[in-house]
Amino acid sequence: MMLLLLPLVLSMTITALISFWFLRYCKGLAKYKNASFNVSIDSSYQPTVSIIIPTYNEASSIKDKIENAIELNYPPEKVKIIVIDSASTDGTADIAERFESVKVIRQPERKGKSSALAEVFKVATEEIVVITDADAMLDKDVLKNAMPYFADKSVGAVTGKQILINPNETISQQSEQTYREFFDTIRTIESKIASTMIFNGPFMAFRQNVLEAPPQNSVADDTEMAIHVIKKGYRALYIPEAIFYEKIPLSNESRIKQKERRAQGLVQSFWRHRDILFNTKYGKFGTDVFPSEFAVHLLLPFALMISIIVFSISLYIDMTSSLIITSIYLFAVGIYTLAVYSDINKIVNSSNKDANIKDIMITFLSFMQLQFALLSGALKMVIFGTSHIWEQISDIREN
């Protein structure tokens, strides 16, 4: 009978090993809590900046977005705002053209964000190119806080921190914010030891001479561009002081759709750049950061799926033994997870307070939702291929 449960033991062992791998990685990051970015930051450094705003049917937000970009705390003579509109049907480009200081490029056909970026990069000649979403508002000091890092010639790209601004404190919002704070901490520490490739699309800044448009079929253009910068020998950093504000979908359905879309892009990028795995050419990014993120974003979702399938079958073979075996694995992983979460939580909250049960459960549920999204996105990509043209999340713009 036990031989029949061998597939369960194997699948659970593989899943546990991948989980321990990532958890050990996170625990190792905690010791870099007080480390610096190891770059020469010059607060007086003010390079010229192109601010690119890709749009498609953003009439409800484009006016506020352009005004937000114009009012940034940065010398206006050093900023050029470019709107690249992908065949909007609601007059977005017309609204943008009312601003004399804004250059508007109209695409006759909507081909996706990657296509729009490839076109606009041809005219973005300023030293630093910033890409920002039409539905995200930038903090007035975002450039002031981000540009000093480019004074160091080793830095090729930076991204910033998202702050949610939904008017109502929903469970969905709490879950997303708690989850993001945890993983934003990981992105920050990855930046301190090497680079991070998981960028936030609503605010990204790139050194113009290393900027490369993502492949036209890319779903996660932000991650793709960050990885290309890293492959060219530059660092890609997450700067928590570079803040932007964004709304979160209020409905759980929209939130899952958004997470699945982003997850699919990450799966595509991780697989496309698998040559980085354990490649010493990229230093700690190739030997530590990328393999660990690859494990949790690509390997773990499939390991979990196989374990769940095998567990379900094993219940019919020997329910009691199957439950005991599974409980042992869950207990072992759970205890180690709590220890790691406690270490990271102390960094997130800048205190020595232990995490409460609510925060632990919210982060766990959000993490499992991410795993489901990664698996769903990967399977859909294999079966149906990718769609690089974004479907707008309507309730972000309605609330």
Position with higher pLDDT, 273 vs 398? 273
Question: How much is the pLDDT for 166?
Answer: 65
Closest by CA to 181, choosing from 235, 240, 264, is 240
The verdict on residue 215 lying in a domain is: no
| pLDDT at residue 42 greater than cutoff 90 | yes
Question: How much is the pLDDT for 387?
Answer: 56
What is the share, in percent, of the chain residues with pLDDT greater than 90? 61
The verdict on residue 108 lying in a domain is: no
Q: Under a CB-based contact definition with an 8 Å cutoff, are residues 197 and 222 in contact?
A: no
Torsion of CA 188, 193, 197, 202, to 10 degrees: 30
The verdict on residue 139 lying in a domain is: no
Question: How much is the pLDDT for 148?
Answer: 98
The verdict on residue 253 lying in a domain is: yes
The verdict on residue 138 lying in a domain is: no
Tell me the pLDDT tens digit for each residue of 222-259.
Answer: 999 999 999 999 999 999 999 999 877 666 666 667 77
Tell me the pLDDT tens digit for each residue of 206-218.
Answer: 999 999 888 878 8
pTM of the model: 0.89
Question: How much is the pLDDT for 71?
Answer: 97
User: What is the span of the domain harbouring residue 27?
Assistant: 1-39+154-199+235-399
Question: How much is the pLDDT for 375?
Answer: 86
Query: What gap in Å lies between CA 234 and CA 228, rounded to an integer?
Result: 9
Query: What gap in Å lies between CA 138 and CA 132, rounded to an integer?
Result: 8
| pLDDT at residue 395 greater than cutoff 70 | no
Query: What gap in Å lies between CA 114 and CA 105, rounded to an integer?
Result: 15
Does an H or E element contain 243, and which? strand 235-246
What distance lies between CA 346 and its chain's CA centroid?
22
What is the share, in percent, of the chain residues with pLDDT greater than 70? 85
Q: How many domains does the chain have?
A: 1
The verdict on residue 15 lying in a domain is: yes
The verdict on residue 357 lying in a domain is: yes
Question: How much is the pLDDT for 181?
Answer: 78
The verdict on residue 93 lying in a domain is: no
Over the chain, what is the mean pLDDT?
A: 87
